[in-house]
Amino acid sequence: MLPYFVPPPPAPGNLFHYQQLRAALPPTSPLHAVLGPLEHGQFVEDAVQDNPLMALPLALAIPAYTAGKATGLIKGARSPASWDEIFAAYGGLKRGMLSHARR
């Protein structure tokens, strides 16, 4: 028996699984820097896919959120501000718009 619980990897395209996995990690785990951008991208994809009108506000919020993390205005973030986070979020915006258009 393992001395600790290792959660299964998240299924691609499922924000809840990313959130569960990150919640199971210790706050200082370096894996937050890896999973954070994936979670951000999935959040934006889900939001835009459900409501394409969210694309514009999220497009503006993505760099503002990362800048807030980088300057310390946003406290308690589990992952550091990074370009990966920005690119993943804009990738999610694109995927969300494409998914909505295919409906």
Chunk the chain into consecutive blocks of 10 residues (it has 103) and report each block's average pLDDT, rounded to whole numbers: 48 70 85 87 92 96 96 90 94 93 87
Q: What is the pLDDT of residue 94?
A: 94
> What gap in Å lies between CA 16 and CA 22, rounded to an integer?
10
Q: What is the pTM of this model?
A: 0.81
> Quick one: pLDDT at residue 2?
43
User: Quick one: pLDDT at residue 11?
Assistant: 55
